[in-house]
Amino acid sequence: MKKAIIYIPNKNPMQSGLSKNNKWILEYKTEDPKKNPLMGWESSSDTYSELKLEFSSKELAINYAKKKKIDFELIEPRKRKTVKKSYADNFLK
């Protein structure tokens, strides 16, 4: 059976907010990527590689993969480190 990856996508670098960073994606791995001889792009005859499914929670994505008997790899998001800064710190050092 196909192998899939379940993850939360990175935020858009053009935006500073994190409001739409709560969806989980189930994406199939490509098994046979080939180089297109005309343009040099990577292509595949596997149409599952074009499929991305969105879920509102991690549990829903895992349950879907188990129900459809899909082998999956779960990639947990890393916690962001936030450093509180104050404008006054510019003048104290």
Q: Splitting the chain (93 residues) into consecutive groups of 10 residues, what average pLDDT does each group show?
A: 88 74 88 81 80 94 95 90 85 79
How are beta strands 71-74 and 52-55 bridged, if at all?
unpaired
Burial call 15-24: b when 16+ CB within 10 Å, e when fewer = eeeeeeeeeb
Identify the pLDDT of residue 20: 67
- At the topology level of CATH, where does 3-92 sit? Double Stranded RNA Binding Domain (3.30.160)
Identify the pLDDT of residue 1: 63
The domain locations on the chain are: 3-92
